[in-house]
């Protein structure tokens, strides 16, 4: 039975909203909570948004084999990784698990769990630039440019490596949800509502 679905895409592509809506529609599903070394932002909860680890704890979990895949984002001075104890606990219930990971995480989940991988694309880079700027007014110009550089790289080299690419146009989230649901049906996921 297929259980893992990777939903990836650049920051601001709408993947969080998409996953939230999918989980609401399919109450038996859940979101994989990954590990990070960054501090929680206002309103974020440990174990819900991320597993917020100190660098020492992250390194210890890595050494123990609990984080089989991770990446360092130099622009953010932060590590992120798949936290296996979280994933294994979610899979035991037999439910669908949505994973929001990068290309390395997508490969690992595809190899180990037969995950279907979906990359959420913005309509265009110009439209996306405006969306990102509006959504994150607190970012410095340097941070904004770093995020845009990451986005351009993801779209150019990573997006083609995913099983599916879905455009999430502004104001068209419902269409995006329907496309992902259709992909999941086609791939053999049991969608309980």
For every residue of 129-170, DSSP letters joined together read: HHHHHHH-TTS-HHHHHHHHHHHHHIIIIIGGGSSEEEE--T
Residue 69 is assigned to a structural domain of this protein: yes
Count CB-CB contacts under 10 A for residue 93: 11
CATH number of the structural domain spanning residue 40: 3.40.50.300
Is 192 a domain residue?
no
pTM for this one?
A: 0.86
pLDDT of residue 38: 95
User: Is beta strand 78-81 parallel, antiparallel or unpaired with respect to 70-73?
Assistant: antiparallel
Is 141 contained in some domain? yes
Q: Is residue 160 part of a domain?
A: yes
Region for 118 from its dihedrals, namely left if φ exceeds 0, alpha if ψ lies in -120 to 50, beta otherwise = beta
- Assigned domain for 77 exists: yes
User: Is residue 35 within 8 Å of residue 147, measured between CB atoms?
Assistant: no
| Residue 94 to residue 87: CA distance in whole angstroms | 11
pLDDT tens track for 71-118: 998 878 999 999 999 999 999 988 899 999 988 999 999 999 999 999
Total domains in the chain come to 1
Task: Look up the domain containing 93 and give its range.
Answer: 4-187
For residue 59, pLDDT over 80 is answered with yes
Q: At 112, give phi and psi (nearest 5°).
A: -85, -35
User: What value does the mean pLDDT of the chain take?
Assistant: 90
Position 193 in a domain: no
For 146, the token pair is 């770093």
């Amino acid at each position: 039975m297929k259980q893992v679905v990777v939903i990836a895409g650049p920051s601001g592509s709408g993947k969080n909203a998409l996953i939230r809506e999918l989980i609401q529609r399919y109450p038996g599903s859940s979101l994989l909570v990954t590990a990070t070394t960054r501090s929680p932002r206002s309103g974020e909860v440990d174990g819900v948004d991320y597993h917020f680890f100190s660098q020492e704890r992250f390194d210890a979990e890595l050494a123990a084999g609990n984080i089989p895949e991770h990446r360092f984002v130099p622009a953010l001075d932060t590590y992120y990784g798949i936290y296996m104890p979280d994933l294994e606990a979610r899979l035991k219930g037999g439910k669908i698990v949505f994973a929001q990971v990068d290309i390395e995480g997508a490969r690992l989940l595809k190899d180990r769990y037969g995950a279907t991988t979906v990359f959420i694309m913005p309509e265009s880079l110009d439209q996306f630039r405006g969306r990102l700027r509006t959504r994150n007014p607190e970012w410095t110009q340097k941070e904004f440019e770093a995020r845009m550089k990451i986005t351009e790289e993801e779209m150019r080299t990573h997006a083609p490596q995913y099983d599916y690419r879905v455009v999430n146009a502004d104001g068209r989230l419902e269409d995006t949800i329907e496309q992902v649901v259709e992909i999941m049906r086609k791939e053999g996921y049991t969608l309980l509502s």
